[in-house]
Amino acid sequence: MTTRTVEQIDADIATYQARLDKALDPDRAESIRHGDRELKRGAGGAAMVNEIRRRLAELRAERARVAGGHNPARPVRI
């Protein structure tokens, strides 16, 4: 297994964050009508958003391992 750099992981995080922002955009059209044809967006809805959030959590944990920080998904011990 190859170790990725923090910069590569940050680029993936930015990509997935942009996808999440786009999926959660309230102005995003759900369907488009052109003449007598109508195209509807399918692509999973809530399941897709949850999958993007899960991947973001994985990427943030990977970044913490590579950078030597703590996993942001774990509670802080006091």
Residue type, 4: R
State if pTM tops 0.85.
Answer: no
Residue 42 has pLDDT above 60, yes or no: no
Comparing 2-6, 27-31, 44-48, the range with the smallest average pLDDT is: 27-31
